[in-house]
Amino acid sequence: MDLIRRLFTAALVAGVLSGTAASVVQQATTVPLILEAEKYEVVTPPPATSASPAGAPAHQHGPVREIGEGVPTTLDEAMQRIGLTIAANLLTGVAYALLLGAAILLAGRPVDARRGLVWGMGGFVAVSLAPAFGLPPELPGMAGAELELRQLWWLSAAAGAGVGMAALAFARNRLVIAAAILAAALPHLIGAPHPESAEGAVPPELAAHFVTASLGGAALFWAILGATCGWLMSGLVRETESRPALRVQPGAR
């Protein structure tokens, strides 16, 4: 139980710290771009039948927005939106920190803040860079293939990259390494699902800016997450290191 408690504590702290940092960076970088992009997003009206109870004013029939009209918000709505985004970021941080912490524990190698930073960069490559190679971070209003297909491809690209990097770092069997590299490459060889025609309403400059902002923020997020995980788990893994693979081989390195 002690091991679980300490692992979860490390993940909680790492997740909250990285999620907080991501929230600050996002409000300055990605969120303004999202709000800007929503001006170009045309909301399709709901089915006409339910929209008008008797006596409702005519202009409330459907939330149809014209391109360029923007998203009307009050201060309360804006604060609520920021608060929910922060909460989601903290949850994302804790979720990823739990997964990274489990990977560190399973690898059984000693960690500290610096090695944790390397683990964090691995996480960045797995869930940010590798999926973005096929599916660029997208703004609202951009054209995209069917959501479930993209989610599935995203997951396979992230999992494949994670498995590939873990095998390159820790596996000894060449067959295992080859299979893991294939798993990492396969989603990209198959290709990400894309819409038949890329006709989004968002200006390309906005979309390009968003890609760099999203990846940059994710890199910082993962650096903090990994370093904190490594730091807080330094005592944990040293006590549990039990893998035969750790044995020092004379002449190795």
Partner 1 sequence: MSSMTTRSINSVGNSATRSAAQTAVAAFAAILLGSFLLYGVGFAQPQQIHDAAHDARHSFAFPCH
Residues that bind partner 1 (CB under 8 A): 3-4, 7-8, 11, 22, 26, 30-31, 34, 81, 84-85, 87-89, 91-92, 94-99, 101-103, 105-106, 108, 128, 131-132, 135-140, 144, 147, 150-151, 154, 214-215, 217-218, 238-242, 244, 246-248, 250
Smallest distance from the beta carbon of 53 to partner 1, in angstroms? 21
Smallest distance from the beta carbon of 151 to partner 1, in angstroms? 5
For helices 2-28 and 75-107, angle between their N-to-C axes, nearest 10 degrees: 140
Rounded Cα distance between 68 and 40, Å, is: 5
Task: Give helix then strand counts, H and E, for the chain.
Answer: 10, 0
Closer CB to partner 1, 44 or 49, in the complex = 44
Closer CB to partner 1, 106 or 168, in the complex = 106
Neighbours of 204 (CB within 10 A): 9
Smallest distance from the beta carbon of 79 to partner 1, in angstroms? 13
Specify the long-range contacts of residues 239-242, CB closer than 8 Å, at least 24 apart.
240/3, 240/105, 240/108, 241/108, 241/109, 241/110, 242/108
Smallest distance from the beta carbon of 2 to partner 1, in angstroms? 9
Rounded Cα distance between 132 and 207, Å, is: 13
Closer CB to partner 1, 55 or 244, in the complex = 244
